[in-house]
Structure 1
Amino acid sequence: MRVNWCFVLIVSFCGTILKANAQDVIFKKNGEVIQVFNLTTTGKSRSYNLPGDAEGTVRFISINAIDSILYANGTKTDFQQILPEPIIQEKEKGQFKRNSLGLDFAAITFYKNIKLSYKYLLGDGTLGLYTSFSKNLNPFNLWTEEQYVAENYSNLMRYLRWNGRAGVDAYIFDPGPFRISGGVHWVTGKYTTQKYQDLDQEPWYIVTKNTNNSMNGILFSSKFLWQPVDFFQFNTGLDIPLYSNPKFRSSFFEIEASFIF
Structure 2
Amino acid sequence: MNAVELAPHRIAGLLAPAVDRTFRAGILAGRDGGGAELSQRYGGITATGFLVDLRTRLAAPGGTVDGPGFAAITRYQDPVACRRTVDKQVTHGMIYRGPDGSLSATERGAAFLAELYQVHAEVTEELWAGHDDRVGRLVSMLGRLLSYALVLAEEANPVASAFAALAPPYEPDGTPSGVLLLNRLSTLRHHRADAHAAAWTAAGHTASSIAALPAGPERLAIELETDRRAAGPYAVLSAEERLSMLADLAALPG
TM-score range, shorter chain: under 0.3
Q: TM-score, normalised by structure 2?
A: 0.19
Higher normalized strand content (fraction of residues): 1
Higher normalized helix content (fraction of residues): 2
Greater RCO (Cα-Cα under 8 Å, separation 6 or more): 2
Q: TM-score, normalised by structure 1?
A: 0.18
